[in-house]
Amino acid sequence: MSPCETIYVFEPGARPALPVRQDEAGSEELLFPVNTIYCVGQNYAAHAREMGTDPERSPPVFFRKPTGSLLPACDGRGEPRLVNLPYPPQTTELHHEIELVAALKGGGRNIPRDEAAGCVFGYGVGLDMTRRDLQTVARKAGMPWDMAKGFDDAAPCSALTPVSRCGHPERGAIELTVNGEPRQKSDLEDLIWSVPETITFLSRLVTLRPGDLIFTGTPEGVGAVCRGDRLEGSIDGVGEITAVIT
């Protein structure tokens, strides 16, 4: 018997990836291959701390977006690039959610809190685009809301800034404007669950792997966008993202 040859039914195609920002001008493009896109549900309590109270620390809630919904908003060398974000079908209420994105180079199960930061390769600026109307209906009905979060181009993301360049950002402005008007403005220090804590929680539920992205949750100020709107987001020390709804 001859050895068995493996043939794909169709070409598997390129794996989704995010370019990495580089210090030196060079000819290479450094790509971070993306595995699973995890997202954290509500993870900011902007006013709780300034009022001297500890926000309710119920365990974080996670969901996923399809890896194919990733939309890199940069050129191959990681420089910011305006992207067109198609208005998805079956919604009249497309919302923006700007989020710090952690990109993992390590993984595992039951990752201890003091080892979690060591799993992070770098950070990016993401938009957790949401069909809010579908989500609201699904929530009320107690049904899954995957289709509210996981549609084509639902996960625009900037290039990744390596930890060697930005460290592990624990404070700094996170903001988003729409057509120049401020919509979301907060600080990373208002995250209820830090990135390491989030990694620890998530690794108790699933095996984390190199290439996983974690969208860490959005601050207050989410809202609807229309065709033609220009979204500009930034996180201090991490990067920026610009998208136009088409």
132 φ, ψ to 5°? -65, -35
Q: Considering only residues 31, 44, 78, 97, which one is a binding residue for Mn ion as defined by CB under 5 A?
A: 97
Q: Closer CB to Mn ion, residue 128 or residue 190?
A: 128
Start-end of H helices in the chain:
113-116, 132-141, 146-149, 163-166, 195-205
Task: Assess contact for 186 and 175: CB atoms under 8 A.
Answer: yes
Give the residue from 124, 35, 127 showing the smallest Cα distance to 78: 124
The contact pattern for Mn ion, residues 213-242, with x = CB under 5 A and - = no contact, is: -----x------------------------
Q: How far is the CB of 140 from Mn ion (least distance, A)?
A: 19
Q: Closer CB to Mn ion, residue 97 or residue 175?
A: 97
Give the residue from 63, 123, 66, 129 showing the smallest Cα distance to 93: 129
Q: How far is the CB of 40 from Mn ion (least distance, A)?
A: 7
> Is residue 153 close enough to count as binding Mn ion by CB under 5 A?
no
Count the site residues for Mn ion by CB under 5 A. 3
Q: How far is the CB of 215 from Mn ion (least distance, A)?
A: 6
Q: How far is the CB of 191 from Mn ion (least distance, A)?
A: 12
Q: Closer CB to Mn ion, residue 97 or residue 232?
A: 97
Stretch that binds Mn ion, among 15-23, 139-147, 210-218, 230-238 (CB under 5 A): 210-218
Give residues 128-147 in contact with Mn ion (rule: CB under 5 A).
Answer: 128
3-class DSSP state for residue 188? helix
Give residues 100-129 in contact with Mn ion (rule: CB under 5 A).
Answer: 128
CB atoms near residue 71 (< 10 Å): 21
Task: Assess contact for 241 and 233: CB atoms under 8 A.
Answer: yes
Q: Closer CB to Mn ion, residue 30 or residue 222?
A: 222
* 212, 15, 244, 152 alpha-carbon torsion, rounded to 10°: -90
Stretch that binds Mn ion, among 136-144, 186-194, 211-219, 222-230 (CB under 5 A): 211-219
Residue nearest to Mn ion (CB): 128
Q: How far is the CB of 118 from Mn ion (least distance, A)?
A: 25
| Residue 24 DSSP class | S
Task: Assess contact for 71 and 209: CB atoms under 8 A.
Answer: no
What residues does 23 pair with on adjacent strands? Answer: none
Residue numbers at the binding site for Mn ion (CB under 5 A): 97, 128, 218
